């Protein structure tokens, strides 16, 4: 079984394309931060090519832009192509089965864009208050 799961930031603006058969597709790259610091004390990144198909591609093109943090799940594939000089070239990429946007930066208000977050309760103003008694919790 092969499964690749990672989260990272989109490195390029979204370019949604359509195949000759009418299926939506987009190719992009995500930057995945390493868990360790380099000798300069900085976190490095790995850059992974991704391919997204169908409704997932359309969803991503509507709600994500360069820099958006996403979670992907898919499988690693390698394909070959003929280069202009006649030699073979190879590309390794992740064909994504599932995409989740972890932050949202497109179509937001100026305040939310500056903060980089959305407030899902903004429309309710300060009307929401939550009070929970410890006895109401389903665990001990």
Task: Give the number of domains in the chain.
Answer: 1
d(CA 96, CA 52): 5
**58: in domain:** yes
**85: in domain:** yes
Mean pLDDT of the chain: 83
Structural domain of residue 45, as residue ranges?
4-107
Quote the pLDDT of residue 109: 44
**131: in domain:** no
**54: in domain:** yes
Judge contact between 10 and 67, C-beta under 8 A.
yes
pTM of structure: 0.70
d(CA 26, CA 94): 12
CATH number of 21's domain: 2.40.50.140
Tell me the pLDDT tens digit for each residue of 38-83: 899 999 999 999 999 999 999 999 999 999 999 999 999 999 999 9
Tell whether the model's pLDDT for residue 93 goes beyond 70.
yes
């Amino acid at each position: 079984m092969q499964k690749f799961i990672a989260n990272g930031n989109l490195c390029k603006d979204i370019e949604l394309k359509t195949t000759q058969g009418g299926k939506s597709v987009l190719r992009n790259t995500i930057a995945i931060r390493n868990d360790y610091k380099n000798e300069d004390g900085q976190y490095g990144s790995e850059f992974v090519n991704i391919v997204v198909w169908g409704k997932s591609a359309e969803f991503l093109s509507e709600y994500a832009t360069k820099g958006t943090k996403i979670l992907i799940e898919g499988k690693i594939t390698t394909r070959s192509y003929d280069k202009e000089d006649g030699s073979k070239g190879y590309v390794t990429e992740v064909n994504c089965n599932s995409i989740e946007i972890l932050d949202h930066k497109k179509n937001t208000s100026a305040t939310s864009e500056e903060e980089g977050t959305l407030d899902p309760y903004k429309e309710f103003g300060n009307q929401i208050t939550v009070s929970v008694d410890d006895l109401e919790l389903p665990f001990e």
